[in-house]
Amino acid sequence: MENFELVILLLDATLRTSTPLILAALAGMFSERSGTINLALEGMMLGGAFAAAAVAYYAGSPWVGLLAAIAATIALSLLHGFACITHKGNQVVSGMAINILMSGFTALVGIALFAQGGKTPALDKASRFQPITLPGAEAVRDVPILGPIYFELLSGHNILVYIAFFAVPAAWWVMYRTRFGLRLRAVGENPGAVDTAGISVVLMRYRAVVCSGVLVGMSGAYLSTAQGASFLQDMTAGKGYIALAAMVFGKWRPFPALFACLLFGFLDAAATRLQGVILPGIGEVPVQLVQALPYVLTVILLAGFIGRATPPKALGRAYVKER
């Protein structure tokens, strides 16, 4: 029974650590399905995390902080779109430029506003998203097997965790069951045919990057106002790139990307649990090795699967309207 409880706790941590990856992977999927490479997820998550923490601190509300994060990341998405869609710039360079910009900009503004070395002050309970106890969770808490699953694993998460997992089927429905999704996928595969049908390729790609901005804004807000209680310099720690790897591993599809994010989240959660643990025949696992596991897996998956994953045909190609 003790092992069962440990598994439940590990899976519970997996849900929490995979949440920002799921939101960011869906954000990248919307953008790249329209043909716009979005390597800027890392910088956008960082900007969203800072905006959420700073505004939540002043406003005393995590919801206001969430709206600020979404506004900040939509602005960054539009900046990326302006460079890549309107001016047909190099999409990889634009994304990396935003990542570098936000790494320095958030630290600079943080020092100017709070004078705490680039971090924001710790948020109080009212300024953070709090865990939600699902109906009946307390009643079944002591029931064998069912109790730990419902009380520990399914209940007790903040609302952004539930939003992230709900966003996966919602994104699938939008992508494959709506006119908007059909047009978005068509723009990423054959923009010339879409333009011939009288649909604006530029407008569709801008709408896609705005959707991307909303999702990655929630991802950043989660890091600083739900999972954490403040913004720390470079607190994303490569999560934007891991989300990109999950999206590619999932072949730009919502549910496969979800499973990839859960895999990365599981490794992250396991890494935390393995710190200081003595394994038979190995001894104490080095902390540095444990912390590197998610990133090592990212490299392995990209090296092994990037060639097999077929991206949208127009991905990374600026559209020039024929006259």
- Domain assignment present for 321: no
β-sheet bridge partners, residue 283: 279
Structural domain count of the chain? 1
**Could you tell me if residue 110 is inside a domain?**
yes
Q: Which amino acid is at 131?
A: P
The CATH code of the domain that includes 293 is 1.10.3470
pLDDT tens, residue order, the chain (323 aa):
567 778 888 899 999 999 999 999 999 999 999 999 999 999 999 999 999 999 999 999 999 999 999 999 999 999 999 999 999 999 999 999 999 999 999 999 999 999 888 889 999 999 999 999 888 878 887 788 887 888 888 888 999 999 999 999 999 999 999 999 999 999 999 998 888 888 899 999 999 999 999 999 999 999 999 999 999 998 998 899 999 988 988 889 999 999 989 988 888 887 777 666 666 666 676 767 777 777 777 777 666 655 567 888 888 887 777 65
* 285 is a domain residue: yes
- Cα–Cα distance between 103 and 129 in angstroms, integer? 25
| Cα(38)–Cα(11) distance, integer angstroms | 30
Q: Is the pTM of this model over 0.75?
A: yes
For residue 267, tell me if it sits in a domain. yes
Instruction: Please choose, from the candidates 4, 45, 51, 55, the residue with its C-alpha nearest in 3D space to the C-alpha of residue 238.
Output: 45
Answer whether residue 135 is part of any domain: yes
In a domain, 124, yes or no: yes
- 110 is written with which tokens? 């943080």
Q: How many CB atoms lie within 10 A of CB 292?
A: 12
Full residue range of the structural domain in which residue 208 is found: 2-305
Q: How far apart are CA 292 and CA 298, in angstroms?
A: 10
Residue 320 lies in a domain: no
Residue 223 contacts residue 45 (beta carbons within 8 Å):
yes
Terminal C-alpha separation, the chain: 70
Residue 13 near residue 155 (C-beta atoms within 8 A): no
Q: Give domain status of residue 21, yes or no.
A: yes
Decide: 192 and 36 in contact? Cβ < 8 Å. Answer: no
